[in-house]
Homo-oligomer: A and B are copies of this chain.
Amino acid sequence: MGGKLEEEALPRAASAASDGKAPRTARGERTLRKILDAAREEFGERGFAESSIVGITQRAGVALGTFYTYFDSKEALFQALVRDMSAQVRDTVGPVLGHAADALDGERLALEAFLRFAHEHRDIYRIIDESEFVEPSVYREHYETTATRIAARLKFAREKGEIDVSYNDKDLDVLAWAMMGANVFLGLRFAVWDDADEVHVANAMSRVWRRGFNQ
């Protein structure tokens, strides 16, 4: 399959629509995109409850009824957005792992990247967080996937001798959730609420994990 880079964004937008409501022409595609962008702004600024479909369609510059051409309900739109953003977080943070000297250095870089991302996209952060109450299943999906990925990296690192073998699989499952929780709260406090130095935060954190996991 050629042209993967350019093609990537479109199917994601297209598949964001509710079942049987995917756009069939380029015009529809554009309209759907406008609604998704407007929704991200509105939900990010005002939260789910305060956001209205009127508000979203006005921002998007389309009529109220147009919304229902692409989505079954306000909840369906929210769910589509969270899925989209969950993937965005993954695609932003994932690649930096390649540049790491070892596994724990990778986690440091990942935290740094996450903090930068959270600071630049506070709206996304808020939307994913609010999904715990709007669409619990996607929230679970997001964090379960993330934790599983971290745990897998930790286990792999243990096989390579970078993490003390006395930590068994169950321990590492627990610790993966702990690392993720730490990252999320550091993001909230130092990137979303504040504009702290990501490098300092990530370094302080990394030092503890490094000592904690070795020896």
Residues of A that sit less than 8 Å from B by CB: 47-49, 129-130, 132-133, 140, 143, 147, 167, 170-171, 174-175, 177-186, 188-190, 193, 200-201, 204-205, 207-215
Q: Which of A182, A200, A214 has the most CB of B within 10 A?
A: A182
Q: Which of A47, A140, A212 has the most CB of B within 10 A?
A: A212
Q: Which of A143, A189, A190, A201 has the most CB of B within 10 A?
A: A189
Copies per complex of this chain: 2
Decide: B208 and A175 in contact? CB cutoff 8 A: yes
What are the residues of chain B within 8 A of A143 when measuring CB–CB? Answer: 185, 189
Return A111 CB to nearest CB of chain B, in Å: 10
Instruction: From B147, B181, B215, give the contact of A211 (CB < 8 A).
Output: B215
Return A122 CB to nearest CB of chain B, in Å: 13
Decide: A185 and B186 in contact? CB cutoff 8 A: no
Instruction: From B147, B182, B210, B215, give the contact of A179 (CB < 8 A).
Output: B182
Return A179 CB to nearest CB of chain B, in Å: 7
Decide: B177 and A185 in contact? CB cutoff 8 A: yes
